């Protein structure tokens, strides 16, 4: 069974390698199987699996409340002041009953 040029290109894209059009035109099923055998023979002993290509760790911060208990200051920004006296923002009605 022979692979088409498009199938070989898709295969190359899936395994993230770059193959020129010239190389693709020379490839056949035997060369693909030979190629996969070469990949299987690579010694990966002692190589830790890569779970993420970016090994950066995001900095963590302490989870602490810094601006708590500021209800009156927050409600002072309300555009509609009708609910402020009761401690909430008043918003337009969006659903019919």
Convert the pLDDT of each residue in 34-91 to its tens digit: 888 888 899 989 888 877 777 777 888 888 877 777 888 888 888 888 888 888 888 8
Cα–Cα distance between 3 and 28 in angstroms, integer? 7
- Nearest-Å Rg of the Cα atoms of the chain is 31
Predicted confidence at residue 37, as pLDDT, reads 84
- Indicate the burial class of 15 (C-beta count within 10 angstroms; 0-12, 13-18, 19 or more): exposed
Predicted confidence at residue 28, as pLDDT, reads 67
Predicted confidence at residue 53, as pLDDT, reads 75
Reported as a pLDDT band with limits 50, 70 and 90, residue 2 is low
Predicted confidence at residue 57, as pLDDT, reads 78
Please report, for residues 42, 43, 44, the alpha-carbon distance to residue 39 in angstroms, rounded to integers and kept in the order given. Answer: 6, 9, 10
Place of tokens 């009953």: 97
Q: What pTM value is reported for the model? A: 0.30
Q: Which of 48, 16, 19, 97 is nearest to 6 (CA)?
A: 19
Predicted confidence at residue 65, as pLDDT, reads 74
What DSSP state is assigned to residue 14? H
Cα–Cα distance between 82 and 23 in angstroms, integer? 73
């Amino acid at each position: 069974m022979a692979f088409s040029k498009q199938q070989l290109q898709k295969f190359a894209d899936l395994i993230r390698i770059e193959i020129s059009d010239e190389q693709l035109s020379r490839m056949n099923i035997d060369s693909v199987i030979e190629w996969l055998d070469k990949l299987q023979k690579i010694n990966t002993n002692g190589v830790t699996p890569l779970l993420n290509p970016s090994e950066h760790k995001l900095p963590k911060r302490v989870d602490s409340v810094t601006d708590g208990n500021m209800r009156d200051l927050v409600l002072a920004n309300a555009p509609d002041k009708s609910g402020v006296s009761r401690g909430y923002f008043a918003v337009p009605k969006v659903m019919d009953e």
